[in-house]
């Protein structure tokens, strides 16, 4: 697999409590990579460093094997970018705006603009200033997808979009992936990342906490379990299991939280007569919150 984005000990500091710290991440060709973190975690800083808008304090970033600073022109020929805070020329119409960007990019067909606008139900004749936030975002999305770039860098792409348009967006991402393009998207919406991303990196306070497939992250997740036994059980019977916490024993009912594998807990429980077992479904949100609170600290 070809590496598309590679950051090596990437640091960017400005002021205090901002920036990114010793970031190592790798995105390979054809994957949809989700970059997840709360606001202010350093998602946008990472993206803007990769794009050479800001320069790393130390470390480096390679895109398509090219240096983000030295070869930025060659890199920018193969990428598109949707800013998190999208601002466009208010007086221009959507069409003027997109044609301007098409000229700056080169190799954009009018047909691509027209088709994307139709799919997103965007009226290109209206001036930007008269568009709602969601419709402005659509102009930004057309801009990002129209040039058929090899790498799409999308910063909070679905903000302001209604659910129906979000589905169209997921479709566009899937099509890009299926044609071998790479998508790097940042988000603080867990469900969206879970829905469309192959791999996820979780960032908090400038540090990459975990980077793994959605599946693997889920397997490492902390989940709560309630076990109901035929007879009362002793708490000591469960105390030796290393990966459980929040253990509460009430007569014949046991409540606990498990991080990672539930194998040991189940084997222990199987020594008694088990009547019922309730497991809270895990979604990425819980994993994310666990990382966010600092409950999980291992980095893959």
Partner 1 sequence: MLRNIFSKTIYERRRSLLWWGLGIIMLVAVLIGFYPAMNNPETSQQLAKAMEAMPKEMLAAFGVTDVANLTTPAGYIQGRLFGFMLPLIVMIFTIGLGSRVIAGEEEARTLDLILAHPIRRSTIVWQSFAALCVLSLAMGLITWLSLWLGVLLLDMQIGASELGAASFNMSLMALCFGAIALLIGAATGKRALSMAVATILAVIGYFANSLASVIDWLVPLQKLSPFYYADYNQPLKHGFHYLPFLVLGSVIVLCGFAAVKLFERRDVAV
Chosen residue from 76, 126, 218, 255 binding partner 1 by CB under 8 A: 76
CA 26 to chain centre: 13
109-148 footprint of partner 1 as x/- string (CB under 8 A): ----------------------------------x-----
Chosen residue from 40, 100, 198, 257 binding partner 1 by CB under 8 A: 100
- Decide whether 40 or 260 has the Cβ nearer to partner 1: 40
- Decide whether 86 or 249 has the Cβ nearer to partner 1: 86
| 21 is an interface residue for partner 1 by CB under 8 A | no
Which residue carries 């790498």 as its tokens? 151
- Decide whether 91 or 215 has the Cβ nearer to partner 1: 91
Asked if 127 contacts 91 with a C-beta cutoff of 8 angstroms, the reply is yes
Min. distance of Cβ 42 from partner 1 in angstroms? 13
- Decide whether 48 or 199 has the Cβ nearer to partner 1: 48
| 81 is an interface residue for partner 1 by CB under 8 A | yes
Chosen residue from 66, 67, 71, 105 binding partner 1 by CB under 8 A: 105
| 14 is an interface residue for partner 1 by CB under 8 A | yes
| 228 is an interface residue for partner 1 by CB under 8 A | no
- Decide whether 159 or 264 has the Cβ nearer to partner 1: 159
Residues in contact with partner 1, counted by CB under 8 A, come to a total of 32
Residue 119, token pair as written in the block: 């799919």
Region of 52 (left: φ > 0; alpha: ψ -120 to 50; beta: rest) is: left
| 58 is an interface residue for partner 1 by CB under 8 A | no
| 93 is an interface residue for partner 1 by CB under 8 A | no
Chosen residue from 21, 99, 226, 285 binding partner 1 by CB under 8 A: 99
| 87 is an interface residue for partner 1 by CB under 8 A | yes
Asked if 204 contacts 37 with a C-beta cutoff of 8 angstroms, the reply is yes
Residue-level length of the chain: 300
- Decide whether 87 or 164 has the Cβ nearer to partner 1: 87
Quickly list DSSP for the chain: --EEEEEEEEEE--SSS-SEEEEEEEEETT-EEEEE--TTSSHHHHHHHHTTSS--SEEEEEETTEETTTTHHHHHTTEEEE-SS----TTSBHHHHHHHHHHHH----HHHHHHHHHHTT--TTSBGGGS-HHHHHHHHHHHHHTT--SEEEEESTTTT--HHHHHHHHHHHHHHHHTT-EEEEEES-HHHHHHH-SEEEEEETTEEEEEEEHHHHHHT-EEEEEEEESS---THHHHT-TTEEEEEEETTEEEEEEES--HHHHHHHTTS-EEEEEEPPP-HHHHHHHHHTTS-----
| 79 is an interface residue for partner 1 by CB under 8 A | yes
| 54 is an interface residue for partner 1 by CB under 8 A | yes
Min. distance of Cβ 104 from partner 1 in angstroms? 4
What are the residues binding partner 1 (CB under 8 A)? 14, 48, 51-55, 73-74, 76-77, 79-81, 83, 85-89, 91-92, 96, 99-101, 103-106, 143, 153
């Amino acid at each position: 697999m070809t590496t598309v984005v590679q950051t090596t000990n990437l640091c960017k500091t400005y002021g205090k409590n901002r920036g990114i710290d010793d970031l190592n991440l790798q995105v390979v060709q054809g994957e949809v990579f989700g970059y997840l973190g709360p606001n202010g975690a350093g998602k946008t800083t990472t993206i803007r460093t990769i794009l050479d808008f800001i320069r790393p304090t130390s470390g480096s970033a390679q895109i398509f094997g090219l240096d983000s600073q030295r070869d930025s022109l060659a890199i920018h020929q193969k990428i598109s970018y949707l800013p998190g805070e999208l601002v466009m020329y208010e007086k221009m119409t959507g069409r003027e705006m997109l044609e301007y960007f098409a000229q700056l990019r080169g190799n954009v067909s009018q047909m691509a603009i027209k088709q994307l606008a139709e799919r997103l139900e965007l009226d290109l004749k209206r001036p930007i200033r008269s568009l709602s936030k969601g419709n402005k975002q659509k102009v930004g999305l057309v801009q990002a997808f129209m040039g058929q770039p090899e790498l799409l860098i999308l910063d909070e792409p679905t903000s302001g979009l209604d659910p129906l348009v979000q589905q169209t967006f997921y479709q566009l991402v899937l099509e890009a992936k299926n044609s071998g393009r790479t998508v790097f998207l940042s988000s603080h919406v867990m469900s969206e990342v879970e829905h469309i991303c192959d791999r996820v990196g979780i960032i908090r306070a400038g540090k990459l906490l975990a980077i793994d497939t959605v599946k693997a992250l889920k397997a490492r997740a902390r989940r709560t379990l309630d076990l109901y036994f035929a007879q009362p059980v002793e708490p000591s019977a469960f105390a030796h299991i290393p990966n459980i916490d929040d253990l509460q024993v009430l007569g014949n009912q046991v409540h606990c939280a498990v991080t990672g594998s539930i194998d040991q807990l189940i084997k222990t429980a199987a020594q008694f007569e088990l009547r019922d077992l309730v497991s809270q479904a895990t979604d990425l949100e819980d994993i994310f919150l666990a990382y966010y609170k600092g409950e999980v600290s291992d980095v893959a």
